[in-house]
Every structure is written in structure tokens, then in C-alpha cells.
């Protein structure tokens, strides 16, 4: 799932200051939190690398019930 989320979500900045076009934060040039946020974002994606589609839907009867009701 990590690759899927990277593909669809990596273009969307995790916080406004990561978007150099729309950034309005007056602290951006001197902010040290940005590096920590970059690391946190990468750890988020890494945590999804161990998740696969089969583990999310396989045997998930509650999910099957939702789709059956539609």
C-alpha cells in the first residue's frame, strides 16, 4: 500500500509550507520543523509498505457486507 499512497498522495503536501507556490507561512525560511515533518512523512509511507491489499480485504466480512448492501 505504500507504493499506492506514494503514487496518489506524494504530490499533495503534508503541510502548507511544503508547497512553495501557495505557502504563506512567515516562518518557512527559518523553520526547523520542516525536516522533522519530512522524516515523519517518509515513516508514514514506510509503515504502509508492509500492508498489502489482501490483508485489508481478505476475510473482511464486515467490508463484504457493506459492498453487498450497495
Per-domain boundaries in the chain: 2-69
Give pLDDT tens digits for 3-56: 999 999 878 888 888 887 888 889 888 989 988 988 999 999 999 999 999 999
Task: Count the neighbouring beta carbons within 10 Å of the beta carbon of residue 18.
Answer: 16
What's the pTM?
0.68
The CA distance from 2 to 28, in Å, is 28
Q: Angle between the 2-9 and 33-49 helix axes, to the nearest 10 degrees?
A: 130
Amino acid at each position: 500500500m505504500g507504493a499506492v499512497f506514494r503514487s496518489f498522495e506524494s504530490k499533495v503536501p503534508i503541510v502548507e509550507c511544503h508547497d512553495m507556490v501557495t505557502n504563506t507561512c512567515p516562518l518557512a525560511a527559518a523553520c526547523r520543523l520542516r525536516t522533522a515533518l519530512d522524516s515523519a512523512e517518509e515513516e508514514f509511507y514506510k509503515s504502509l509498505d508492509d500492508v498489502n491489499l489482501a490483508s485489508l480485504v481478505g476475510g473482511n466480512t464486515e467490508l463484504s457486507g457493506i459492498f453487498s448492501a450497495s
